[in-house]
A = this chain, B = another copy of it.
Amino acid sequence: MERSGFLSDILSRVAVRPVQALRGSPTPLPDLCANLVGELGEAAALSTALEILDRYDVLDGDGRMAFFQSLAQDLGHDDAVLQAAIADWTPGDEEAARRLHFAAEPRSQELIRRLNQVPGATARLVGMRADLLRCMRDATALAPLDMDFRHLFSSWFNRGFLEIRHIDWSTPAEVLEKIIAYEAVHEISGWDDLRRRVAEPDRRLFGFFHPAMPSEPLIFVEVALTRDIPGAITDILSADREAMDPGQAKTAVFYSISNCQKGLRGISFGSFLIKQVVSELQLELPNLRTFVTLSPIPGLRRWAEGEDSGLDAAEREALTSSEGPWGEQARKLAARFLTTARRAGGTVADPVAHFHLGNGAQLYGLHAGADPSERGMANSWGVMANYLYDEARIEARHQAYAAGGTIDVSSTVRGLAR
């Protein structure tokens, strides 16, 4: 009933016009944007929005910087309107507070909403924000504009609108090639490697998608089904290993989680995804008992080499040796790092640890020599961590961490940390 390619058909037809229109169009891009947030009819609004997106696409870096700066300067709030709304408000007046809320809304928010009316625009706007984030490094005045994108994306990419998909070997190639491109933790070396990660009976890959970007994963997680909790990523990624019957597996290992869209920075999906995948796997494979990660410790080495690590002499010596700390020594360092190093606000220093502990996981195990890749050695001398997701205790652990930064640590790791 639903004609696939319907919207894209329309897009391609509609798209023809502005390209022709372009030739004669001397209207500067900022003026087009001002028009679009003005009183255009819908037909004109659609073609104007499309023209803006198409012309944006062919801008170079400087052009994009100039585009964002014009938006930030010209499409903000209206001082007079805002002042009037402020004057109108008295404490406790909810209706006036709403009027104030809307009066303070920058016109750039409305611009983004109207650009999104073009079929297929959502992915283009996500890409636009990725550009904006790059530009912001050199132009902090763009930060308010970024707040607009982020605010709208939070609303549009609400959990309730996302679809989970099981990615496997029946998935279209156009999606799979993005999995290869977006894997951020343990690089996928090509289609054969990908096949091992999605098509083996004891491997799973799940991702979140948004209906307006159907071939673009937002985030995905890779899962290995195993008997025991694994101690090395090489066991999981090996090309030679024998696949196991998933009906015999006891453990689901989340060994890689990748955010795919730079333009969605700050919009968090990871915790939802992990919990939903736990639900999915429990339903499919009631034999699973343990849900655990095998995670990198990206901050370990930087910490150890820094001022505050308080290493003893033997440890300091190991740091400067060619191999670095290894075995028990490396695990002890990691245990100390993860259980003690904190950021200013009291959160755990290591970003991966912060993510999982914040989600309600327990710091469960540490393994030396677990990731011999260049990055693994550079970041943590190859040490990796297991974070354990125990459904019954997720909420309590989350609350404890959220309230006071209290983390749950297994006795093994506590022993190492001493």
Contacts and interface: CB of A to CB of B under 8 A. Distances in A.
B95 A100 contact: no
A144 B92 CA distance: 12
Interface string A164-200: 1111111111111100000000000011000100010
A13 interface: yes
A97 B76 contact: yes
Nearest to A360: B41
A267 to B, nearest CB: 12
A310 to B, nearest CB: 32
A5 to B, nearest CB: 8
B163 A174 contact: no
B116 A158 contact: yes
Contact of A160 (B102, B117, B276): B117
Contacts of A168: 1
A376 B41 CA distance: 31
Nearest to A161: B212
A14 to B, nearest CB: 7
A92 B82 CA distance: 10
A95 B359 CA distance: 31
Q: Quick one: which of A13, A119, A173 has the most chain B CB within 10 A? A: A173
B100 A82 contact: yes
Contacts of A190: 191
B100 A104 contact: yes
A272 interface: yes
- Main SS of chain A's interface residues? helix
Interface stretch (A229-237, A391-399, A410-418): A391-399
Interface in A92-147: 92, 94-95, 97-98, 100-102, 104-106, 113, 116-122, 143-144, 147
A26 interface: no
Contacts of A119: 160
A314 to B, nearest CB: 40
Contact of A94 (B77, B167, B391, B402): B77
Contacts of A117: 158-160, 272
A271 interface: yes
Nearest to A391: B43
A7 B95 CA distance: 37
A170 B169 contact: no
B164 A402 contact: no
The 5 tightest CB contacts between A and B, nearest first, are: A41-B398, A211-B211, A101-B104, A117-B159, A116-B160
14 contacts: A1-B170, A1-B175, A10-B276, A13-B279, A39-B403, A41-B394, A42-B272, A77-B97, A98-B148, A100-B104, A102-B151, A117-B158, A169-B173, A173-B191
Interface of A: 1-4, 6-7, 9-10, 13-14, 39, 41-44, 72, 76-77, 79, 82-83, 86, 89, 91-92, 94-95, 97-98, 100-102, 104-106, 113, 116-122, 143-144, 147-148, 151-152, 154-156, 158-161, 163-177, 190-191, 195, 199, 211-212, 215, 271-272, 275-276, 279-280, 283, 359-360, 391, 394-395, 398-399, 402-403
